[in-house]
């Protein structure tokens, strides 16, 4: 990079609205984003809020490092900020804020005890289950990060149902089988995995940990687990591939851009870098409303607003809305051929299938598999849980000859994600016909609380649980985890969850 | 109006019981209501309480402005009160009141946090869902208004079930459909609506906002939504029609009076003023017991009672009972022909149908549609939720040829109301065969908290939700919202709600 | 009664154990109960506790006035106590009692608010539902009385299920029927009743109100309701008959004594006094364990025990166990003929039938009806709710020709009791085939809180609810309350109630 | 035993790691456990923690007295410790511990009242049900003991379901049967029992009471109840047999060791000592993860760790993991013949069968019965409750001729255990076909709170409940407790329990 122009902060500060032009500072560089405002995936408002100011702190956790360079024409790179030259924002008088319908941090511990003010994170050795990471994350993550990860669409019924559905399946364990040695390794799309689990794609990892998604990459390597690289990671794609160990298998999740050349470029680059399978997200033509996340924006924004005197932007968009515009809502079955052509050599899987009809259509279209998923309950509230629809999907595919348990035959593979917290959850899905399950939030919580070491511990916990539970099920290998080992008679139950409405409900007396 | 007689307050004060005659003051005018006492829809007691006194504050929010003039013979209009001439009620000694089985204002916020004493209403931009309006309304409305709107019959089981039923339906979303553009407009009884939603009739709007129902009229115009004008509005019928924009569609809800000439007059007037459809309420031959509302009357009444020394009136009637006598409990199928004749030129719909047999009979009788409704859970407790009976109603009508999805054919239309809080709720009802849904309480809560602007925001929220959810469902138009998009297998579930009884229950240990 | 011997209290005090003989004082009379100890229905222990002492306070609420005279040979009537001659029990040092697994009075109000120390009973006009009486009773009754009435067997699952079952039935209301006049009167076993409700037998009324069951008698007369006289009343049978108005209908509940001559005497006496029907209790060969009631005995007993130095009696028996031995556990079908013979001229009904097989057998044996009842959940925990078995009972009787809706035909009648709190509950039972329902606890709570006036108000509330709900159901008379007006599809649900176990349960985290 | 060498504590203290050798002191004797470290069933870590120290306090409650002698070669018995010669551990500075995801003692009483600091155990006479013992145990046991006994696998769903399942069965009681005398005695595998209940095997009794399992033995004798001797008792096998009364029947539970000669020795010894039946545990090829128990280890360990400076051992194993390695995970059906051969003369039952297929296989293999059990919910979470599978097991065995109610025919017997708290629970299982039920935790809680007297009281409570409930059921003998007395229609319900996940859940508002 050539010697850059030195820019005084006072000059930056003058470019603070559309008329005068909008400049912002990121990592010491000054950019003119006036023309980019209306193209910004996250909307113009969030940029206008930092017009004439340093936006680094806001930019950092939700963009890959080179996002601004890749998206702005080089002519818009104004130069380098002279250090400490930006005028300080005027301190606003500390007026009491109006009441906010916001999400408070819980002030009770996992056990219902009031949390002492000086919460100290427990040592990693005390973490016994994936639930524990979540309990610690809730207490230690930034509110913004916690709200982004933990939120679901609307009233969060689907988000809860994803886990609840597992609670409606009972096992039918077998006894007196030789379980001296149990082997829970499997193959996922032809690639070895130490267990029927992969780390699924989740966005904005740096909201949880400063190193971001590479923590997941490295922990996956430790445990011979496959990582699915997310389109919307905080780390760049190449950082995640570079972080992989030799021979480590990586898949990639793809949001299809309205500009297909951009998408094709991404696919080809992924193929070159050795990514083995492409998971095309089909449940998110628009990113969901996650109200808990949206409320985040109303907190702690007073000072910036007061300092600049601007309040004409909409603040009702959380981290989720800030990253949503890369997605083409017109994507449909007729586009699939082109994408598969571009991905030739990689497996192609549709991620976000939610009924058997679409699973069958995917198989007919030549895909290698589907992920039954509702995007972790973050998109359409009252979408069904993947587990609840799994039996009908398996049945429809088997009756049409797309699935077979015979190892020599070509096999259409089914994955599920959402709500998995225990090896028993995974075993239920596998018994019903899934190849493997994707785990998202628990890995992010492990990463956000203990970094790579946390993720590694989370995977080790799952392995311990697999060993235990396969012994107790009487299933020495994954091939022994068969449909007759689960009782699905109570699978289709009503939700019973009426969370928000109850909140507004008073009893008559 | 001619010059009126000036009346001294001392004279008014002397007419304070049946023997001496009962005079009251409303808006500065003195009325002799002695003969009217036993005709008063709300009962004699409530008037007697203000005998010889100024009743304006009590009268205002629950009567249209001209109600007293329309109902009293001109001879009973005594004259104008000389300002400030009424004797002051004697201050009663502030004795501690007895324990009351009353409904306290919740002292916890929506999040369970204790509410700070100085509750400040959040800015409108922070309102993200229809639930939010309700949460704010609960904290900011007058107790009388909140209790009137939020109460349901008996143990409020049906009121809750109305919403709960939506929680037992899951979607079956479709993927890879072109949802670049989604259009959620529809036709309701042949009239355009920007979404399959109308503002249904609710009474006594001035309990929530001083301007009353015209706020709803104006917000409906902003969003091209149909408003159903209520018989028992606080604003007069003409005020609501006058408030409409040119071309704005309005329907009217009708309670049929025992005096049919009065009803016919109302119908003809409505027709003249351009009302397009008449919704005859058939679920309220008597207005329901709403105990939370009834308890309102026991609060804050001590001083008036003590001042007058009267305590011989029944105080166990809330706002609901005060407006109930306009309704003819003998209304039956044989009366329908006459009403339809009077309404000729308007569509006629029965509002409050609760089983398929009556829906079929309405179709056979030549009605244009029915509203499946239990009056928002305010009438018969344990009436079924509209959603729970919708499939059986549609099936019965279709098998008899009254309903068809073919647009060229005459169509009997089904509406539902009660418990709707989200666009997903609406989409479920439409998928099962409803033309549109009525929304009542949420509009009132939006009006009561933020006026017309609040109602407008509520409608905008619904539009945002429609756009999102139709994309995620894979349904670009309302015609794509079909029965196979919902899973009704868990629709018929027990209530599980035993609210009041639990209150009285102690565990054995 | 002849002039009695005057007895000095010191002499009484010396007869304080089996060896020296046991004397007690009741209402100023001294009795020698040494030989009666082992015949006492409530066990010897409770008498021994008052050996040599005045037992009036304990005796009063749980025995009819003449019980002691009727049961003791005249020779055991020692004489009259010289007033104030009994030695005072020595005051025990107030040692802190050990922890007790006892039932505390709730310190929160019906609304969850902490109860102010100075709880003042609300005026009767504020009572709006039968639930309200219960809420007030819980706060104002003696602990002993509350625990006796409100307790159920074991974990109280059946007691709760009795009411819960009503919550699983939904109505199917009809519209546009002429409900200008509604008539909810009916006939019960051929006798007129102003509504399909009777006051069922409950024991020990003076635990709730000093006048006892005659309050019920008089309130029943006010409302033309039938009262069922209990065997184990605090008032004597004759007091209750004497309290009746001319022409007032009374039934009688009967526990069959091992000594049949005693039972026959009771039956003949009832017949002579004009009782119209005999309800033979068949669900209580032994009175149930009601642990909340049993715990009552552990409270407040320390001083008496310390004063006398006796602690060798079992204290684990509450009010229920104290009255249980009058009942013959060997009573069986072969005894029925003899009882029916004795009752000739009265209707004979079995009270406590719990499955269709026994209802059919009762009809075959010539009974006039059965009460489906589990004794208010006070006997066998997990006995089914009467409502849940009602459809199968009706079906079995109809298919065998024992029941018919045709008024000219002889009719076997079915009653239910337990858990009824609302007219809607009654209407559900009637729709399914019951003639009427018995109401017990709510009447006792009304009596215990407001005496006869409370009971009368409770009955008026039911009438108000009947009028309202029959209008809203579209049923102008009881004959219009038909099976198609209820939806029973969710009637058979699991209980879901695991009250006591949950108490002992901790979550793993 | 010969005169032993006297060992100075300083010498012991020097043997405090693997390099220098590991010595420990137990009951005043010094042992060299260096070579035994990796064979220790509880793992090396727990021993290393006491290297060079006195381990008696840790050793005592979880080992039979002679365990160390039996497992160590005599050459490793170093000698006798000179009293008081061990160096004192250095006091560690009392640093505040980090936050622990641990299980707090509940600070509310059974009634939800805050527990007074000075909790005093109630007198035994106030204990009315088996639940009561548990409530007292929770308040009075050592945390370690409570956590060990009360914990279940993973999220404890199966542990709760074991009891919940009983709550989904309703009775169908019969009336007018002669229940003057009820007899609840039965035969278990041909041996008389005073009721259809036995005390099942539970480990580590001294965690609850210093005398350990002999309390159970003696109380069983008092009540003519059979005790099942556990392999992992704190008392030795011979202590428990010696504690038996003449003629008292005892069974034995067996974990099969990888070293079969050891197992054979145990079987033969049991046979010699008169044990009548062998219950081979088949649901525990590995002992389950009980996280509440595992968390115990993180508490109170700071000082020992700080004193020794060692922290290299894994502390995430509770009492359960400490005793697990005696079990052969490769045990399978082909091993069964050899075990049955060794047990010839005793009945052989498989304990831990969880589906009908394995019950049939056990019958085909010649076993005398099975225990349907999931190990009290301590092994595989989401294993079904024994009650839920009982009907299918009975049906499968009956249709294959293995079971018959005819007394003269050979009979394969079914037992269930887990979740039983009431005689009603037992009666439900017997009605469905079980011979008897095993009760574990409640007996341990009774023992831990009141010793032998407590266990005896617990058994008496069950007898009182049996007498009552059989009367109320209309079943004078166990033969009258038949399938038609229970309604199983709601038996298969979803769990609804999502305990841990809820903990981590926040509502959106």
Distance between CA atoms of C313 and C50, rounded to whole angstroms? 11
Asked whether residue C356 carries a pLDDT value surpassing 50, the answer given is yes
A182-236: pLDDT as tens digits: 999 999 999 999 999 999 999 889 999 999 999 999 999 999 999 999 998 999 9
**What contacts C410, CB < 8 A, 6 or more positions away?**
none
- Residue among D461, D415, D450 at smallest CA distance from D131: D461
Give the mean model confidence (pLDDT) for residues A231-245.
94
Cβ neighbours of B448 (radius 10 Å): 27
Top-confidence residue, B94 or B185: B185
Q: Is A140 exposed, middle or buried (0-12, 13-18, 19+ CB in 10 A)?
A: middle
Asked whether residue C95 carries a pLDDT value surpassing 60, the answer given is no
**What contacts A332, CB < 8 A, 6 or more positions away?**
B176, B177, B178
3-state secondary structure of B29: strand
Within a 13 Å sphere around the CA of A502, how many CA atoms are in the beta-carbon half?
13
Contact indicator for C466, C225 with CB cutoff of 8 Å: no
Catalytic residue ranges of C: 255, 283, 375
Dihedral (CA of D396, D400, D406, D409) sign: negative
Q: Pinpoint the alpha helices (H) of C102-228.
A: 130-140, 143-150, 157-166, 214-223
CB contacts, 8 Å: D155 with chain C: 508
Give the mean model confidence (pLDDT) for residues D397-420.
86
Give the mean model confidence (pLDDT) for residues A242-269.
95
A400-415: pLDDT as tens digits: 999 876 656 658 999 9
How high is the mean pLDDT of chain B? 85
Residue C146: what pLDDT? 92
Distance between CA atoms of D474 and D485, rounded to whole angstroms? 9
Distance between CA atoms of C274 and C277, rounded to whole angstroms? 9
Residue D256: what pLDDT? 94
C218-243: pLDDT as tens digits: 999 999 999 999 998 999 999 999 99
Interface test with C, best of A135, A508, A509 (most C CBs within 10 A): A509
Residue from the list D111, D507, D509 with its beta carbon closest to the beta carbon of B509: D111
Contact indicator for B384, B419 with CB cutoff of 8 Å: no
Active site residue A269: no
Interface test with B, best of A45, A101, A330, A418 (most B CBs within 10 A): A101
CA distance D109 to chain B (A): 10
A459-484: pLDDT as tens digits: 999 999 999 999 999 999 999 999 99
Residue D56: what pLDDT? 86
Contact indicator for B392, B357 with CB cutoff of 8 Å: no
Distance between CA atoms of C281 and C256, rounded to whole angstroms? 8
DSSP assignment string, A449-470: HHHHHHHHHHHHHHHHHHHHHH
Largest CA distance in chain A: 79
Asked whether residue C507 carries a pLDDT value surpassing 50, the answer given is no
Asked whether residue B225 carries a pLDDT value surpassing 80, the answer given is yes
Asked whether residue A310 carries a pLDDT value surpassing 90, the answer given is no
Residue C112: what pLDDT? 41
Looking at A280-284, B307-311, C266-270, D181-185, which range is the least confident one? Answer: B307-311
Burial A88-99, CB ≥16 within 10 A → b, else e: eeeeeeeeeeeb
Burial C327-364, CB ≥16 within 10 A → b, else e: bbbebbeebbeebbebbeebbbbbbbbbbbbbbbbbbe
Residue A323: what pLDDT? 46
Top-confidence residue, B486 or B76: B486
CB contacts, 8 Å: A110 with chain C: 509
Distance between CA atoms of A464 and D286, rounded to whole angstroms? 12
Residue B502 Rama label (left phi>0; alpha psi -120 to 50; beta): alpha
CB contact under 8 A, B167 and A336: no
Structural domains of chain B in order of their starting residue, each with its CATH number:
6-81 (3.10.120.10), 144-287+324-503 (3.20.20.70)
Distance between CA atoms of A164 and D499, rounded to whole angstroms? 10
Residue from the list B122, B175, B500 with its beta carbon closest to the beta carbon of A358: B175
Asked whether residue B233 carries a pLDDT value surpassing 70, the answer given is yes
For D228, the token pair is 């099942």
Give the mean model confidence (pLDDT) for residues B313-324.
46
Residue C419: what pLDDT? 95
Give the mean model confidence (pLDDT) for residues B53-80.
83
Asked whether residue A251 carries a pLDDT value surpassing 50, the answer given is yes
Residue A294: what pLDDT? 82
How many CB contacts within 8 angstroms connect chain A with chain B?
A: 179
Residue A40: what pLDDT? 76
Subunits with 3+ Cβ pairs within 8 Å of C are A, B, D
Asked whether residue B339 carries a pLDDT value surpassing 90, the answer given is yes
Q: Categorize the per-residue pLDDT at D103 as very low, low, confident or very high, splitting at 50, 70 and 90.
A: very low
A70-85: pLDDT as tens digits: 778 888 889 999 988 9
- Residue among B266, B288, B416 at smallest CA distance from B352: B416
Looking at B252-261, C152-161, C476-485, D286-295, which range is the least confident one? Answer: D286-295
Distance between CA atoms of B309 and B48, rounded to whole angstroms? 12
For B56, the token pair is 């304006």
Asked whether residue C156 carries a pLDDT value surpassing 80, the answer given is yes
Give the mean model confidence (pLDDT) for residues A252-271.
94
Residues of B (463-482) whose Cβ lies below 8 Å from A: 464-465, 467-469, 471-473
Q: Categorize the per-residue pLDDT at D355 as very low, low, confident or very high, splitting at 50, 70 and 90.
A: very high
C403-458: pLDDT as tens digits: 976 656 658 999 999 999 999 999 999 999 999 999 999 999 999 999 999 999 99
Q: Categorize the per-residue pLDDT at A2 as very low, low, confident or very high, splitting at 50, 70 and 90.
A: low
Q: Pinpoint the alpha helices (H) of D325-440.
A: 336-342, 356-364, 386-399, 423-431
Distance between CA atoms of C357 and D474, rounded to whole angstroms? 13
**What contacts B403, CB < 8 A, 6 or more positions away?**
B394, B397, B411, B412, B414, B433
Asked whether residue A103 carries a pLDDT value surpassing 60, the answer given is no
Top-confidence residue, A270 or C491: A270
Residue C397: what pLDDT? 96
Q: Could you give the percent of chain C with pLDDT greater than 90?
A: 63
Give the mean model confidence (pLDDT) for residues D102-116.
41
Top-confidence residue, D354 or B503: D354
Residue D452: what pLDDT? 98
B162-191: pLDDT as tens digits: 998 999 999 999 999 999 999 999 999 999
Residue D280: what pLDDT? 98
Distance between CA atoms of D294 and C468, rounded to whole angstroms? 60
Q: Phi first, then psi: what are they for C28, rounded to 5°?
A: 85, -5
Asked whether residue B312 carries a pLDDT value surpassing 70, the answer given is no
Quote the radius of gyration of chain D (alpha carbons, Å): 24
Give the mean model confidence (pLDDT) for residues A342-360.
98
Interface test with C, best of B285, B298, B340 (most C CBs within 10 A): B285
Tokens 């149930």, located at residue: C288
C291-315: pLDDT as tens digits: 888 887 655 443 333 333 333 334 4
CB contact under 8 A, D110 and B509: yes
Top-confidence residue, A156 or C463: C463
**ipTM of the complex in this document:** 0.86
Residues of C (149-188) whose Cβ lies below 8 Å from D: 154-155, 157
Contact indicator for B221, B455 with CB cutoff of 8 Å: no
CB contacts, 8 Å: C102 with chain D: 111
D31-61: pLDDT as tens digits: 998 988 877 766 777 788 889 998 888 887 7
Subunits with 3+ Cβ pairs within 8 Å of A are B, C, D
Contact indicator for D194, D423 with CB cutoff of 8 Å: no
Cβ neighbours of D490 (radius 10 Å): 15
Q: Categorize the per-residue pLDDT at A500 as very low, low, confident or very high, splitting at 50, 70 and 90.
A: very low
Distance between CA atoms of B97 and C121, rounded to whole angstroms? 11
Asked whether residue B43 carries a pLDDT value surpassing 80, the answer given is no
Distances (CA, A) of D302 to C89, D49, D90, D380: 57, 11, 12, 31
Q: At what angle do helices C143-150 and C441-473 cross, to 10 degrees?
A: 50
Looking at A233-247, B480-494, C84-98, D201-215, which range is the least confident one? Answer: C84-98
Residue B290: what pLDDT? 86
DSSP assignment string, B243-283: TSPTT--EEEEEPPPSSHHHHHHHHHHHHHTT--EEEEE-S
Distance between CA atoms of B354 and C474, rounded to whole angstroms? 11
Burial B294-311, CB ≥16 within 10 A → b, else e: bbbbbeeeeeeebebeee
Q: Categorize the per-residue pLDDT at D371 as very low, low, confident or very high, splitting at 50, 70 and 90.
A: very high
Contact indicator for B22, B15 with CB cutoff of 8 Å: yes
Distance between CA atoms of A270 and A278, rounded to whole angstroms? 9
Residues of D (184-243) whose Cβ lies below 8 Å from A: none
């Amino acid at each position: 990079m050539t010697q850059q122009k030195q820019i005084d902060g006072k000059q930056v500060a003058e470019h603070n609205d559309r008329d005068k032009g909008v400049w912002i500072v990121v990592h010491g560089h000054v950019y003119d984003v006036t023309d980019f405002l209306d193209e910004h995936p996250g909307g113009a408002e969030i940029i206008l809020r930092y017009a004439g100011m340093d936006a680094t702190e806001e930019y950092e956790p939700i963009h890959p490092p080179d996002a601004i360079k890749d998206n702005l024409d080089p002519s818009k790179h104004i130069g380098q900020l002279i250090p400490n030259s930006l005028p300080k924002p005027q301190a606003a008088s500390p007026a009491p804020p109006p009441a906010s319908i916001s999400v408070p941090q819980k002030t009770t511990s996992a056990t219902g005890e009031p949390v002492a003010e000086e919460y100290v994170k427990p040592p990693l050795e005390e973490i016994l289950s994936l639930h524990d990471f979540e309990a610690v994350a809730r207490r230690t993550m930034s509110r913004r990060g916690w709200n982004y990860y933990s939120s679901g669409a609307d009233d969060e019924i689907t988000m809860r149902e994803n886990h609840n559905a597992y609670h409606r399946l009972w096992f039918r364990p077998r006894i007196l089988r030789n379980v001296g040695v149990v082997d829970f390794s499997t193959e996922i799309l032809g690639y070895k995995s130490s267990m029927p689990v992969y780390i699924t794609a989740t966005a904005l990892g740096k909201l949880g940990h400063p190193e971001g998604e590479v923590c997941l990459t490295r922990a996956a390597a430790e445990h011979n687990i496959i990582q699915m690289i997310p389109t919307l990671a905080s780390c760049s794609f190449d950082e995640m591939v570079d972080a992989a160990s030799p021979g480590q298998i990586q898949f990639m999740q793809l949001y299809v851009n309205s500009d297909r050349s951009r998408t094709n470029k991404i696919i080809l680059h992924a193929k070159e870098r050795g990514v083995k399978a492409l998971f095309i997200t089909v449940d998110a033509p628009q990113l969901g409303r996650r109200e808990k996340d949206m409320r985040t924006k109303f907190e702690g924004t007073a000072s910036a607003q007061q300092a600049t005197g601007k309040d004409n932007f909409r603040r009702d968009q959380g981290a989720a809305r800030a990253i949503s515009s890369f997605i083409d809502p017109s994507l449909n079955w007729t586009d699939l051929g082109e994408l598969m052509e571009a991905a030739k050599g990689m497996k192609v899987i549709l991620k976000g299938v939610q009924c058997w009809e679409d699973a069958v259509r995917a198989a007919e279209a030549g895909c290698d598999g589907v992920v039954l998923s509702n995007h972790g309950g973050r998109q359409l509230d009252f979408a069904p849980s993947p587990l609840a629809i799994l039996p009908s999907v398996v049945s429809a595919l088997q009756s049409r000859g797309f699935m077979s348990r015979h190892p020599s035959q070509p096999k259409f593979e089914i994955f599920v994600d959402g709500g998995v917290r225990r090896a028993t959850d995974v075993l239920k899905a596998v018994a019903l016909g899934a190849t493997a399950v994707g785990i998202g939030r628990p890995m992010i919580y492990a990463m956000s609380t203990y970094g790579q070491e946390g993720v590694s511990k989370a995977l080790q916990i799952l392995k311990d649980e697999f060993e235990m539970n396969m012994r107790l099920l009487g299933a020495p290998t994954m091939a022994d985890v068969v449909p007759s080992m689960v009782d699905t008679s109570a699978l289709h139950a009503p939700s019973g969850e009426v969370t928000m409405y109850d909140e507004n409900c008073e009893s008559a007396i």
